[in-house]
A and B are shown apart, each in its own frame.
Chain A
């Protein structure tokens, strides 16, 4: 019986080169390239949505006092901005890259589980529809911060907790399914001869990230479930009155939360490690050291969570343990940064847009890494905790880190995806506008934080006014600059110079051996790997 079905399927597949027409093609698709495209567009729409919320936040903070929004609505904005950027923009964008590129890079015809792939994408829009719909409800959207600390999200919730929890459940299920698909594809579908240590580094980083997702997304699901029962069913996981402990919430959340931040940066390492060798026209300086560094970062990420909780009154021993473990992460991360620099050293570099974004990534991510090291120091963390210094830190790693790598990757593979070269000068405009405005946006936040401006407040003391004005201007400029990217992509899809199979002379990998745009079905017979 099973074989009959399979025969039927493979039979259908052969005729399916002409895909279904219209919306049905996208709803029913099991093609990894279609699903990758869906993920990438979804992520970009979410980026603009979350960005729009950030614009309102920056408009409110443009000058001291309350001008535009009520404090409670301001809290809703910061909360939903964080949730959308983390779960709606960065993570789906990386899953999009994984879908598009991994099968082509390992020489597989598709992802291992194409039907599940369709599901893992199509439940996502519902998750975010639920989350965003709370804005139009009487009680309002979640206002307890993206970290949803209990009891803010239980006892003091405005009534949006259930919607929030279900949305997170769906996002979690989607991520887990996506991750399982990636692991199975990489383990079972590599072309003959492609051993693990011959896989492109890009594939390695997604492989490790997928394992992290499988390990920690269920913990997140557990935490939000406890939150749900605490709020609505009278349990007391986090309620001291019933014998629970609100600090336990923070332990559980950050046990998920810290690996989560590596989930959002390891794929970025993979993308940048693919692009820098291509434009430096040299092999990656140390491939195996990069693999081991990625794996050690992933392992270390499980034993550093409490560095988010130094001010909860941990005993000295705990603070020292988490401080040293956190600082230890700087070692494999340093291995990576030196690897990228050594790859560029004496290379014949050229500076097309993907390379520009990658170099900016290396420098700006390192700044974010250094401020992370500062935050890791327990004694000074007492000063930095919950200030704009923290906001500056994680925006440097997530915007100039993850997001810049996504842009780098998008420009790098756009010719492969669309079959056209993008408009290089418009892309350079995008890069330089983004680079200048993003630093104007986030760099002064360091000073604001050191001077004591707390995060998540709609109003601030007068002495912070000048910096905040510049930050807001940077914010508006950065937001507008992203529309240039939209223009580049649309122009590139519609037309432009025809892209050859391999538009970058230094690029390596199986994806460049197929035509541009990549045919709907690639590697139906596996390629030979020497």
Chain B
């Protein structure tokens, strides 16, 4: 074999190695982009997963379709507690007018929350509910809730907001107390943009 052949041979070997490398690299880069996308895909997947299992205490953001409870379970009494807080930066007074209420599963109840814009500017608020224990969230049915819509309050305006709900009679036996927590956020900026 003369020197030219040797070099030629070496080059063939090199380009073969490069093709082989490129095949592996392509697959690995695909995994990288796939996993980057997977991270983002987890966001909706998490919501769906929580919707089905009710894991994170998020309640439904729309009204329960119909009140279709056939009988009220008068033998059981469930305590429903209400708590509220305002997120950083929203100068509202916001609290439940009843702190705690005892209901029979299936029984419809109406409670009110009080809100007052204590600032001198108009603010749009949005209340986000969360139920504890988380697994009970799926059994807390809201017919009407101020959290379904945004609450625009003018400077110094005050309002009483209604929440109509019932507790599904299917609520697991071991749950006797539900806590419904509302956090009020300032969404003025988001609405305007």
Contact = CB atoms under 8 A, between A and B. Distances in A.
Contacts of A243: 61
B128 A241 contact: yes
A124 interface: no
A7 B11 contact: yes
A219 B7 contact: no
Interface in B142-193: 183, 185-187, 189-190, 193
Interface string B116-129: 00000000001010
Interface string B25-50: 10011011111101110110011001
Interface string B73-115: 0000000000000011000000000000000000000000000
Contact of B29 (A7, A180, A222, A313): A180
Interface stretch (A135-143, A247-255, A446-454): A247-255
A184 B134 contact: no
Nearest to B186: A241
Contact of A184 (B10, B28, B56): B28
Main SS of the interface on chain B? helix
A241 B43 contact: no
Contact of A314 (B17, B55, B128, B193): B55
Contacts of B32: 176, 180, 214, 217-218
Contacts of A462: none
Interface residues of B, number: 49
Contacts of B132: 313
Contacts of B128: 240-241
Given A6-B15, A251-B42, A245 B58 contact: yes
A113 interface: yes
A183 B39 contact: no
Given A10-B10, A241-B187, A245-B46, A184 B36 contact: no
Given A214-B31, A248-B46, A315-B135, A222 B11 contact: no
Nearest to A2: B15
Given A113-B21, A240-B128, A245-B58, A218 B193 contact: no
Contact of A180 (B7, B28, B134, B187): B28
Given A6-B15, A216-B35, A241-B185, A188 B20 contact: yes
Nearest to B130: A240
Nearest to B49: A251
B15 A221 contact: no
A112 B24 CA distance: 11
Contacts of B24: 183-184, 187-188
Contacts of B25: 113, 180, 184
Contacts of B185: 240-241
A7 B25 CA distance: 22
Contacts, number: 110
A214 B28 contact: yes
Interface string A202-244: 0000000000001111110111001000000010010011110
A6 B36 contact: no
B79 to A, nearest CB: 19
A188 to B, nearest CB: 5
B54 to A, nearest CB: 9
A501 B17 CA distance: 30
A3 B7 CA distance: 11
A214 B35 contact: yes
B46 A222 contact: no
A348 interface: no
B36 A221 contact: yes
A179, A242, A315 — which one has the most chain B CB atoms within 10 A of its CB? A315
A318 interface: yes
A463 interface: no
Contact of A219 (B11, B38, B56): B38
Nearest to B32: A218
A187 B20 CA distance: 10
A450 to B, nearest CB: 28
Given A184-B28, A215-B31, A313 B43 contact: no
Contacts of B183: 240-241
Given A113-B21, A183-B28, A234-B193, A155 B88 contact: yes
Contacts of B133: 313, 315
Contacts of B31: 214-215
A238 B25 CA distance: 34
B187 A219 contact: no
B183 to A, nearest CB: 6
Given A222-B36, A255-B39, 13 more contacts: A2-B15, A2-B18, A3-B14, A7-B7, A188-B21, A214-B31, A215-B31, A218-B33, A240-B128, A248-B43, A248-B46, A252-B39, A315-B135
Interface of B: 7, 10-11, 14-15, 17-18, 20-21, 24-25, 28-29, 31-36, 38-40, 42-43, 46-47, 50, 53, 55-58, 61, 87-88, 126, 128, 130, 132-135, 183, 185-187, 189-190, 193
23 contacts: A2-B15, A6-B11, A7-B11, A179-B28, A188-B20, A214-B31, A217-B35, A218-B39, A219-B36, A221-B36, A226-B40, A234-B190, A234-B193, A237-B43, A241-B87, A241-B126, A241-B128, A243-B61, A245-B50, A248-B42, A252-B39, A255-B39, A315-B55
Interface of A: 2-3, 6-7, 10, 112-113, 155-156, 176, 179-180, 183-184, 187-188, 214-219, 221-223, 226, 234, 237, 240-243, 245, 247-248, 251-252, 255, 313-315, 318
Q: Which 3 A-B pairs have the closest CB atoms?
A: A222-B39, A241-B185, A218-B36
